[in-house]
């Protein structure tokens, strides 16, 4: 049986749309439904690679995992990645379309809408139920004529929409009433009900507020969801970092992660952050390097801008001094490029053209190019990797630079396959002193045996066994999320058989 699509829209950004969509995906998957997520357009720097080699937003990959589906670019046909120069890289169906200012992107909307709807129809044909997610506020009146991701998408998809507001941000009544008040009557009719998210305290004390909302809006309140911090989910973008929501738990091993300009794919450190005895801190100032056992430089969408930011903050010089005193450093993708001697962008691929000195902790040089590498890989740790573990590791690459050795080459990994095809190629570098490692491989820390070896290296001890089963841990989080959601929202009541005229 096919079901009418369900869409989650919000009163603004970061109100919980992505999380609620993931909760719905897991709740319906647990009922045996073939459910899949969909977001027409996502703006985020946290991305991943599908089994076919297409690039898509991290939130929809998370939702696909919650739905027990393999990610596919039809789930997120448009991904926008800001470069920090009022220009964004636009990725359509997993491939780079180009870099565009907002005005030029809006001109392409009619053509892109056709591609979005083609992706949605393909997805709808393959699955019983589609859970859609909107973007930002669904009532941005100045952008309504360009809308392809919020209520215009709900109308095209024949979806029923759930409006989510964030009570923790304050002004929940204005959020809900104001958002509905800005909608046209045809748009209001798409809204099935309201969800109040991130409630703290005694829900019994807010029943009068819920009743007022229902009377004022004429829409039922479908659920009052509690604020939670016991469930660990990958973050869609950098908002949680900007708001200081990712706080460290005390641990014996102290890992610092530099908050680079245009930081991307910082979900690479999620697996470390949930390990017992590991404290992950976000680093903005030189004095915060004190006491660290490992420093990680994550990815960035603009490596030259990230280098400028490090120099402005004083971290550029401080990292070199910290390493000279015995510190261990790991660079991932853009962080690997920063660890080298030179980063050059002669064609202005990531912003204004230029060249800058890197930290010089690895004998490599990076030159940006217009070709973007997007692939899933399998690799083996090279003998020089101090955190080597037996067997293959999996990961993925998303980058636009080519990095070459400028001195004796000591690869960190040897690639053995790319998108399932056999390859033989080195990846990354290890410093001569063995205390600096760089790699292009995202997701490499999700590999349990390698992560255990890394922690043993950081702690200066022999590896005594595998680390946490991270895949099982993530799956448990999706179940915990669905448990919390189903305790407050009648998900079965939201299901509505698809009428032939709706499909």
Task: Please name every residue paired with 417 in a beta bridge, in sequence order, or none if there are none.
Answer: 378, 422
Torsion, CA 426, CA 427, CA 428, CA 433, rounded to 10? -40
Quote the CA–CA distance of 323 and 108 in Å, as a whole number: 48
Quote the CA–CA distance of 284 and 315 in Å, as a whole number: 8
Which three-class secondary structure state does DSSP give residue 355? strand
Quote the CA–CA distance of 332 and 260 in Å, as a whole number: 12
Which three-class secondary structure state does DSSP give residue 257? strand
Which three-class secondary structure state does DSSP give residue 491? helix
DSSP string, 141-204: GGGGGG-SSSHHHHHHHT-EEEEEEEGGGS-HHHHHHHHHHTS-HHHHTTEEEEEEEEE-S-GG
Quote the CA–CA distance of 197 and 203 in Å, as a whole number: 12
In what helix (H) or strand (E) does residue 99 lie, and over which residues does it extend?
strand 95-101
Helices and strands per DSSP (H, E), number in the chain? 16, 26
The tokens describing 211, both together, are 């009743």
Quote the CA–CA distance of 72 and 126 in Å, as a whole number: 12
Strands 41-43 and 78-82: parallel
Nearest to residue 40, comparing CAs of 163, 166, 124? 124
Quote the CA–CA distance of 160 and 155 in Å, as a whole number: 9
Strands 429-430 and 47-49: unpaired
Which three-class secondary structure state does DSSP give residue 57? strand
DSSP assigned state of 11: S
Quote the CA–CA distance of 113 and 207 in Å, as a whole number: 41
Burial class (CB in 10 A: 0-12, 13-18, 19+), 373: middle
The residue written with tokens 């690679």 in the block is: 49
Report whether 298 contacts 260 (CB < 8 A): yes
| 138 belongs to the catalytic site | no
Residue from 25, 127, 333, 399 carrying the catalytic annotation: 333
The residue written with tokens 């004529």 in the block is: 145
| 442 belongs to the catalytic site | yes
Distance set, CA 435 to CA 204, 207, 326, 379, 444 (Å):
55, 57, 8, 21, 18
Residues belonging to the active site: 333, 442
């Amino acid at each position: 049986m096919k079901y009418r699509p369900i869409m989650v829209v919000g009163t603004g950004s970061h109100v919980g749309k992505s999380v609620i969509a993931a909760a719905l995906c897991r709740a319906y998957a647990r009922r045996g439904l073939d459910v899949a997520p969909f977001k027409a357009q996502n703006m985020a720097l946290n991305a991943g690679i599908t089994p076919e080699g297409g690039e898509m937003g991290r939130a929809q990959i998370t939702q696909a995992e919650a739905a027990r589906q393999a990610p596919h670019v039809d789930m997120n046909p448009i991904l926008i990645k800001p470069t920090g120069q009022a220009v964004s890289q636009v990725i359509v169906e997993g491939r780079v379309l180009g870099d565009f200012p907002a005005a030029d992107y809006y001109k392409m909307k009619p053509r892109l809408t056709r591609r979005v709807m083609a992706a949605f129809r393909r997805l709808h044909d393959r699955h019983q139920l589609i859970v859609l997610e909107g973007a930002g506020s669904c009532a941005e009146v100045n952008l309504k004529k360009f809308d392809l991701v919020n209520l215009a998408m709900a109308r095209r998809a024949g979806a029923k929409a759930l409006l989510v507001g964030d009570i923790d941000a304050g002004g929940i009544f204005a959020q809900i009433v104001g958002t509905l008040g800005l909608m046209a009557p045809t748009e209001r009719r798409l809204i099935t009900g309201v969800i109040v998210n991130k409630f703290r305290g005694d829900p019994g004390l807010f029943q009068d507020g819920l009743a007022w909302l229902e009377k004022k809006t004429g829409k039922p309140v479908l659920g009052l969801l509690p604020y939670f911090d016991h469930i660990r989910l990958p973050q869609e973008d950098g908002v949680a970092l900007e708001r200081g929501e990712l706080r460290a738990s005390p641990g014996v091993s102290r890992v610092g992660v530099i908050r680079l300009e245009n930081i991307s794919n910082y979900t690479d450190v999620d697996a470390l952050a949930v390990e017992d005895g590991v404290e992950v801190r976000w680093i903005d100032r030189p004095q915060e390097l004190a006491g660290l056992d490992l420093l990680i430089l994550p990815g960035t969408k603009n490596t030259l801008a990230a280098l400028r930011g490090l120099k402005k903050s004083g971290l550029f010089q401080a990292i070199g001094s910290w390493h000279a005193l015995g510190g261990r450093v790991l660079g991932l993708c853009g962080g690997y490029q920063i660890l080298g001697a030179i980063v050059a962008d002669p064609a202005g691929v990531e912003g204004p053209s230029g060249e800058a000195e890197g930290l010089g902790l690895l004998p490599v040089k990076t030159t940006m190019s217009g070709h973007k590498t997007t692939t899933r890989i399998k690799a083996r740790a090279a003998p020089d990797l101090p955190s080597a573990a037996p067997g293959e590791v999996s990961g993925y690459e998303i980058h636009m630079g080519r990095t070459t050795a400028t001195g004796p080459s000591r690869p960190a990994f040897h690639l053995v396959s790319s998108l399932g095809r056999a390859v033989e190629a080195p990846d990354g570098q290890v410093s001569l002193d063995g205390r600096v490692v760089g790699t292009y491989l995202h997701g490499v820390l999700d590999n349990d045996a390698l992560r255990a070896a890394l922690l043993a290296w950081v702690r200066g001890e022999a590896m005594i066994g595998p680390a946490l089963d991270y895949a099982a841990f993530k799956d448990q989080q999706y179940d915990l999320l669905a448990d919390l959601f189903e305790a407050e929202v009648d998900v079965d009541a939201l299901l509505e058989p698809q009428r032939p005229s709706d499909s």
